[in-house]
Amino acid sequence: MNPLLSYSKGTSGGKQKWIPKTAEEGERRAFFSCLCDTVLNRSFQGLNDGKALLFVLINPDIHTPGGLVLRTGSESEIKNRKDRYPQFILCEDSNQSLYSQLLCGLVQRDAIVNVGTFFASGLLRIIKFFEEHWQEMSSNIRTGQMSAWITDPNCKRAVSLILSKQMPDLADSIDLICQEKSWEGIIKKIWPRTKYVMAIITGSMAQYIPALEFYTGGLPVVSPVYGSSEAFFGINMKPLCSPYDVSYTFIPNMAYYEFLPIDNHQDPTCTNRKDAHLKDHIVDLANVKIGQHYELLVTTFTGLYRYRMGDIVLVTGFHNSTPQFKFGQRTNVVLSIHTDKTTEQDLQKAVAMAIQILEPLGFFLLDYSSYADTSSIPGHYVLFWELQLRSNDDIPELDQVKMEKCCSLVEQSLDQKYKLLRNQSISTIGPLEIRVVKQGTFNVLMDFYVSQGTSLNQYKTPKNIKSEKAIEILDSRVVGKFYSREVPNQDS
Ligand code: AMP
């Protein structure tokens, strides 16, 4: 039976939501998924001649005091579809589950034609897990015996169907690939028939594009849908386009969509204007205009009325006469001190600019987060960066001058309000700080949030860390602290 409530830790803002659901709603979602598959089949030949390796992770169901089942949207879909897909591995222990899924994917490496998961951040996490466990997996394949710590009956059953004999040749070929020092293009090397990698890579996930491109070795990365726990919105009709150019075509079968125009120069954080005045400006799907930004409102079959998603979309064109949108930005403020409000999008742009200083040295940014440190006066913004070298070498001692330049460039890329507050004679905001954390830190952070009830499938690294425990996790792994040495120039 379908659960009647779905929950989500929300977006990178991290606010938990409970959303009503019905059985019909589940069917509409299923229709959406079929539509996506149709588009993919049209773009890639031969998908039916192989298998998809789709990594899914589930949490235990939660029961409300009244007895309703609470599940995340992705979990509902998976659990409802499990009868149609007997090869699904449903196990609530994420380590055993991921290990078993990877092991099955390795044994069948020549059959796999596409690899994917829900969000790009999740796929990077899976690659890291593989990096930590490939030797053990290869030894399992060599001996035909699964590791003893895999005790979950679902995992054991699924793996034993696939790993039924010793396969030393396969183990040798996996060893050869994984022993290479750099893991550049590892997905293509391990699964040579893969035609594409599937993961959402737009919006806040765009920060992971360079890291994902590194591991996929030039395979197309397909960002198939734009959806949420509230409703699905659109599908990507051009799966082969660059991750930077993805537009979604709205499919109006799940909700009634309305759009609140946002002045292209307007501070998106001003969307907290009084609702009474807003309704005069709302337009429906048929009346949106190309080049205009809108905040998305949904009225759903399950009872939400003009619900503000908090997502900003930009109209980019039409597919036939259906509007297409680029995922714009989120209205959520991630950093705030005094009157400054820095949005997730502003921060992401600033970080993308600053990391260019380190790219020629072979670094890419695996993940980042931030918080406003107001424990001293004036308060200042702190960014946590996890860096990785393309060569896979350990991170060397970082060049102080270059790191300070990164701090200044982040500041320089933030908006005028920030620069003004930094420039005041008695400055209201202190120099921005970057704390570089050791490798694996953001995985530990993810584990922490998952232990607090976040679904691994829908996990998005919070960009505004509020939890003291989470800050403690990051702080205890800091390997270098750097501060901006320049006051940002207000004229640029
Ligand atoms: P959730 O309710 O946990 O599924 O999160 C839904 C949110 O994820 C949306 O409101 C978006 O902010 C984000 N999201 C979903 N799909 C995409 C996408 N294709 N690109 C960027 N962000 C997305």
CA angle 192, 196, 201 (to 5 degrees): 135
CA distances from 43 to 46, 111, 220 (A): 10, 19, 11
What's the confidence (pLDDT) of residue 262? 85
Q: How many Å lie between the centroid of ligand 1 and the Cα of residue 444?
A: 23
- Report which DSSP code applies to 467: -
- Measured between alpha carbons, how far is 85 from 91 in angstroms, rounded to an integer? 15
> Taking Cα atoms as reference points, which of 429, 438, 428 lies closest to residue 477?
438
- Measured between alpha carbons, how far is 156 from 148 in angstroms, rounded to an integer? 10
Which of ligand 1's atoms lies nearest the C-alpha of 223? 19
Residues 6+ apart with CB under 8 A from 258: 282, 283, 284, 285, 296, 297, 298, 299, 306
Report whether 392 contacts 131 (CB < 8 A): no
The verdict on the CB of residue 247 being under 6 Å from ligand 1 is: no
CA distances from 383 to 327, 338, 489 (A): 24, 18, 20
The verdict on the CB of residue 458 being under 6 Å from ligand 1 is: yes
The verdict on the CB of residue 229 being under 6 Å from ligand 1 is: yes
Residue 346 burial (CB < 10 Å; 0-12/13-18/19+)? buried
> Taking Cα atoms as reference points, which of 158, 142, 100, 121 lies closest to residue 11?
121
Q: How many Å lie between the centroid of ligand 1 and the Cα of residue 314?
A: 15
Nearest residue (by CA) to ligand 1, atom 22, is: 203
Q: What is the pTM of this model?
A: 0.83
Q: Indicate the top mutation candidate among 7, 226, 456 to test ligand 1's pocket, ranked by most ligand atoms within 8 A of CB.
A: 226
Q: How many Å lie between the centroid of ligand 1 and the Cα of residue 304?
A: 17
The verdict on the CB of residue 228 being under 6 Å from ligand 1 is: yes
Q: How many Å lie between the centroid of ligand 1 and the Cα of residue 391?
A: 32
Beta sheet of 221-222, edge-to-edge order: 51-54, 112-119, 196-200, 221-222
Q: How many residues in the chain? A: 492
Q: How many Å lie between the centroid of ligand 1 and the Cα of residue 260?
A: 18
- Measured between alpha carbons, how far is 387 from 366 in angstroms, rounded to an integer? 6
- Report which DSSP code applies to 206: G
Which of ligand 1's atoms lies nearest the C-alpha of 12? 12
The verdict on the CB of residue 223 being under 6 Å from ligand 1 is: yes
Nearest residue (by CA) to ligand 1, atom 19, is: 226
The amino acid occupying position 151 is T
Nearest residue (by CA) to ligand 1, atom 13, is: 11
Q: Give backbone dihedrals phi and psi of 70, rounded to 5 degrees, phi first.
A: -110, 125
Alpha helices in 259-342 (DSSP H): 275-278
- Measured between alpha carbons, how far is 7 from 18 in angstroms, rounded to an integer? 4
The verdict on the CB of residue 11 being under 6 Å from ligand 1 is: yes
- Report which DSSP code applies to 17: E
Nearest residue (by CA) to ligand 1, atom 6, is: 228
Which structure tokens are listed for 128? 């890291």
pLDDT, one tens digit for every residue, the chain (492 residues): 455 677 665 554 445 678 888 878 888 888 888 899 999 999 999 898 999 999 988 777 778 888 888 877 777 777 766 666 666 778 888 889 999 999 999 999 999 999 999 899 889 989 999 999 999 999 999 999 999 999 999 899 999 999 999 999 999 999 999 999 999 999 999 999 999 999 999 988 888 998 999 999 999 999 999 988 888 999 999 999 999 999 999 998 889 999 999 875 455 445 455 555 667 789 999 999 999 999 999 999 988 999 988 888 999 999 999 999 998 766 577 788 888 889 888 899 999 999 999 999 999 999 999 999 988 889 999 999 999 999 888 888 999 999 999 999 999 999 888 998 898 777 789 999 999 999 999 999 998 988 887 777 778 899 889 899 999 999 999 999 999 999 888 776
The verdict on the CB of residue 295 being under 6 Å from ligand 1 is: no
The verdict on the CB of residue 8 being under 6 Å from ligand 1 is: yes
Report whether 384 contacts 433 (CB < 8 A): no
Cα 42 → chain centroid? 26
The amino acid occupying position 31 is F
- Measured between alpha carbons, how far is 455 from 72 in angstroms, rounded to an integer? 7
What's the confidence (pLDDT) of residue 12? 44
Q: Indicate the top mutation candidate among 228, 229, 307, 459 to test ligand 1's pocket, ranked by most ligand atoms within 8 A of CB.
A: 228
Q: How many Å lie between the centroid of ligand 1 and the Cα of residue 130?
A: 26
Report whether 351 contacts 208 (CB < 8 A): no
What's the confidence (pLDDT) of residue 13? 47
- Measured between alpha carbons, how far is 341 from 29 in angstroms, rounded to an integer? 36
- Measured between alpha carbons, how far is 318 from 306 in angstroms, rounded to an integer? 24
**What's the first-to-final CA gap in the chain, in angstroms?**
58
Q: Indicate the top mutation candidate among 77, 78, 311 to test ligand 1's pocket, ranked by most ligand atoms within 8 A of CB.
A: 311
Please, which residues bridge with residue 249 across strands? Answer: 235, 324
- Report which DSSP code applies to 337: E
What's the confidence (pLDDT) of residue 492? 65
Which of ligand 1's atoms lies nearest the C-alpha of 310? 10
Q: How many Å lie between the centroid of ligand 1 and the Cα of residue 228?
A: 5
Give exposure, 47-72, as e/b (b: 16+ Cβ within 10 Å).
Answer: beebbbbbbbbbbeeeeeeeeebbbb
- Measured between alpha carbons, how far is 196 from 220 in angstroms, rounded to an integer? 5
The verdict on the CB of residue 311 being under 6 Å from ligand 1 is: yes
Q: How many Å lie between the centroid of ligand 1 and the Cα of residue 204?
A: 9
What's the confidence (pLDDT) of residue 15? 58
- Measured between alpha carbons, how far is 102 from 24 in angstroms, rounded to an integer? 33
- Measured between alpha carbons, how far is 488 from 414 in angstroms, rounded to an integer? 9
Q: How many Å lie between the centroid of ligand 1 and the Cα of residue 110?
A: 32
- Measured between alpha carbons, how far is 152 from 91 in angstroms, rounded to an integer? 7
Q: How many Å lie between the centroid of ligand 1 and the Cα of residue 10?
A: 8
Report whether 210 contacts 120 (CB < 8 A): no
The amino acid occupying position 160 is S
Report whether 335 contacts 418 (CB < 8 A): no
Q: How many Å lie between the centroid of ligand 1 and the Cα of residue 331?
A: 13
Q: How many Å lie between the centroid of ligand 1 and the Cα of residue 315?
A: 17
CA distances from 134 to 130, 364, 368, 392, 487 (A): 5, 23, 26, 16, 47
Nearest residue (by CA) to ligand 1, atom 10, is: 228
Strand 5-8 and strand 69-71: the pairing is parallel
